[in-house]
Structure 1
Amino acid sequence: MSSTADPSATSTNLTDDLALALRLADAADAVAMERFDAADLRIDTKPDRTHVTEADLATERAIRAILDAERPDDAILGEEFGNSGDTARRWVIDPIDGTHNYMRGIPVWATLIALTVDGVPQIGVVSQPAIGRRWWAATGQGAWTTTATGDERRIHVSGVDQVSAASISFQSIEQWDDVDHLPALERLTRAVWRDRAYGDALPYMWLAEGRLELVAEFGVKEYDIAAIAPIVREAGGRFTAFDGSDRLDAESSFATNGLLHDAFFALLHEDAS
C-alpha cells in the first residue's frame, strides 16, 4: 500500500480508469438496489460461515462483465469469484461491503471498487446507493463526494491535532478481542473525546470528510480496504496496517487524519514497547 507514486505522473494516466470505475459503480448500484430489502432475497452460507446473497453475486458479475469488455488485459480480484488474471494492473472488488446490513434491510452497505497498479491502490470508489452517497479518488486528483443535492464536493480530513479531542470508530469489540488487543482498545477509548463502532466502509468516508480522526479494524481482506486507502490518502489522511506497514494483505487497517497517526500508533502499541 505504498503511497510513494509520483502524483503528477500518475494522475493523467488514471483519468480514463477513474471514469470507468465510476461507471462500474453506476452498474453495481442498479443491480444491488434491485434486490435490496426484498422479502424473498436468497441468502446462502459460504464455507467460511459468512453469508452471501444473490445480490452480492449478481453485482460482482455485472462489474466483471464490463471489465472483461473494456479492460480485458487487466486482472481482477473479487470477494465472491476470486482472482482472474495476473498483471500489474488489478481491479479489486467488494460487490457489497456490509452484506449483513444488506440482508437485514439496513441501508449502510457499499460497493467498493479499486484499481491497484503494482500492488498500490491508485483509484478508489465507495458507492452507497441506499443512502444516496458516493466517494471517489485517484492518485493526484484529490478525494471527492456527492452532496445530498447531487453536486460534487472535494473532501479533506480534519485538523484535529489532540488525541483528547478526537472522535474515532473501532468497528467492533469482537475484532479487537480476536487479536488480543482489547487492553489497547480500552486505553484508546479512554483517551479520546468520543468513540463509536459504526462499522464497514462508512466511517472511513466520514474520516475523509473530516468527521472522524481514526478508524481501525482487524480481519479485513484486500477487497475490504483497497478502495478506501486512496480516498483517505487523497483527502490528506494516512492509511496503513496496524503494524505500520503499507501492506494490503496484513488483515488490519489503521486510517487517521494524518496529524494524529503517530500519536494513535504510540498509544495503541504501548504494550509492545
Structure 2
Amino acid sequence: MTGYADDIALAHRLADAADAISAARFRALDLRVEAKPDLTPVSDADTAVERAIRALLAEHRPGDGLLGEEYGEQPAAGPDGRRWVVDPIDGTKNFVRGVPVWATLIALLEGDRPVVGLVSAPALGRRWWGVAGEGAYAGPDAASGAPVRVSAVQDLADASFCYSSLTGWEEAGRLDAVLQLMRDAWRSRAYGDFYGYMLLAEGALDVMVEPELSLWDVAALVPIVTGAGGMMTTLDGRPSPGGNSSDEVSAIATNGHLHPDVLARLARPTAR
C-alpha cells in the first residue's frame, strides 16, 4: 500500500474525527432526527460528521474533490481527478434506533475507480481499510490492524449468503432468483448496509448482494472487498460502482469463486 500510504493515514484521521462525534451522539437522549425529501432519516450526527470530514479535507487535500451524502458535491480543484466520497453514517436507521451496526464510510476515487476505502464502526469497536487489489486490513485502529482475506468456498451449497432486504429485490423483479439463492445456499442472513461486505472481506460469509445503492454507500467497500481478494460488480457484471453521484448502482460481492454462478442467477429480471 506504499503508493497510497498517505491517503490511508489521512482516511484514518478522518475516521478518528468522525468516531469522536458519532460515538458521543449514539443513543443520546437529545439526538435530533429529521426526514429528508426521500423520507430517509438524517440525524444531527450525520451532518456533524460530514462537516468535520469536509473541514479536515479542506485543510489537508484542498485540491481534491468531495462528494458527501448530506452536503453534495464539491468539484476537484486539481487536474488529477481525485475525489473523496463520504457517507457520514451508513446505517442511520440503525443509529437512531440504538442498533450498533452503523459506520462512517470513506473512499478515495481516481476518476471512476475507488482506490482507497475505509469503514469505521465505533460501536462495534472495529475498522476495515484497504487498497483495491493490494490488500485489506481490520482491527480496532490503524496501529493494530491485521490482514483479512475472503473465504475459499467454491460451491453455493457450502456458502453463507447475505442480503440487505427483500423489498428492493422484489421491486427489481429479481425476488424469485434471490429466494432460490437462499434455498440453495448453506445459510442465509440479512446483515445489511456495510456489515455484510466487511464480513465477506473477513471470510465470515461468501456472498453479499444489494439491488440499489448510491455511490457513497458502496465506494468505500470496493477497495476493501477487492483488496481482500474478493470480487464486486453490478448486477449486469460491470465494475461496481459507477462514478457519477447521481447514478444508482447495484452490487454483487463474492469471494470470487462464487461470482459467475451468483451473477448468472441475478443478471436478468424475472418475467412478471
2:93 is paired with a residue whose SS is: helix
What amino acid maps onto 1:125 in structure 2? Answer: L
Q: Which residue of structure 2 lines up, in the alignment, with residue 264 of structure 1? A: 262
Q: Which residue of structure 2 lines up, in the alignment, with residue 216 of structure 1? A: 209
In the alignment, does 2:220 pair up with 1:227?
Answer: yes
Q: Using the TM superposition, give the Cα deviation of residue 13 of structure 1 relative to its aligned residue in structure 2, in angstroms.
A: 2.8
Q: Deviations over 1:157-212 (max 9, x none)?
A: 00000110000111101111111111111111111111111111011000000011
For normalisation by structure 2, the TM-score amounts to 0.92
Q: Which residue of structure 1 lines up, in the alignment, with residue 138 of structure 2? A: 145
What amino acid maps onto 2:257 in structure 1? Answer: L
Task: Find 1:243's aligned residue among 210, 233, 236.
Answer: 236
In the alignment, does 2:158 pair up with 1:165?
Answer: yes
Task: Report sequence identity in percent.
Answer: 48
Where does structure 1 differ by over 4 angstroms across 4 or more consecutive aligned residues? 270-273
What amino acid maps onto 2:145 in structure 1? Answer: E
Q: Using the TM superposition, give the Cα deviation of residue 247 of structure 1 relative to its aligned residue in structure 2, in angstroms.
A: 4.3
1:219 is paired with a residue whose SS is: strand
Moved more, 263-272 or 104-113: 263-272
In 2, distance between residues paired with 1:123 and 1:258? Answer: 20
What amino acid maps onto 2:214 in structure 1? Answer: K
Is the 8 Å Cα contact of residues 188 and 268 (structure 1) preserved in structure 2? Answer: no
In 2, distance between residues paired with 1:196 and 1:213? Answer: 11
1:210 is paired with a residue whose SS is: coil
Any unmatched runs of 5+ in structure 2?
A: 243-247
In 1, distance between residues paired with 2:205 and 2:62? Answer: 39
Q: Using the TM superposition, give the Cα deviation of residue 51 of structure 1 relative to its aligned residue in structure 2, in angstroms.
A: 0.7
What amino acid maps onto 1:102 in structure 2? Answer: F
What amino acid maps onto 2:54 in structure 1? Answer: R
Is the 8 Å Cα contact of residues 236 and 267 (structure 2) preserved in structure 1? Answer: no
Q: Using the TM superposition, give the Cα deviation of residue 52 of structure 1 relative to its aligned residue in structure 2, in angstroms.
A: 0.3
In the alignment, does 2:54 pair up with 1:71?
Answer: no
Is the 8 Å Cα contact of residues 147 and 153 (structure 1) preserved in structure 2? Answer: no
Q: Using the TM superposition, give the Cα deviation of residue 138 of structure 1 relative to its aligned residue in structure 2, in angstroms.
A: 1.7
For normalisation by structure 1, the TM-score amounts to 0.92
Q: Which residue of structure 2 lines up, in the alignment, with residue 123 of structure 1? A: 116
RMSD: 1.7
Q: Which residue of structure 2 lines up, in the alignment, with residue 43 of structure 1? A: 33
In the alignment, does 2:97 pair up with 1:99?
Answer: no
In the alignment, does 2:196 pair up with 1:203?
Answer: yes
1:199 is paired with a residue whose SS is: coil
Any unmatched runs of 5+ in structure 1?
A: 1-10
Q: Using the TM superposition, give the Cα deviation of residue 269 of structure 1 relative to its aligned residue in structure 2, in angstroms.
A: 3.6
1:107 is paired with a residue whose SS is: coil
1:107-118 mapped onto 2 (5 Å cutoff): 107-118=100-111
Task: Find 2:173's aligned residue among 173, 180, 199.
Answer: 180
Count of aligned residue pairs for this structure pair: 262
Is the 8 Å Cα contact of residues 218 and 253 (structure 1) preserved in structure 2? Answer: yes
Q: Which residue of structure 2 lines up, in the alignment, with residue 7 of structure 1? A: none
2:213 is paired with a residue whose SS is: coil
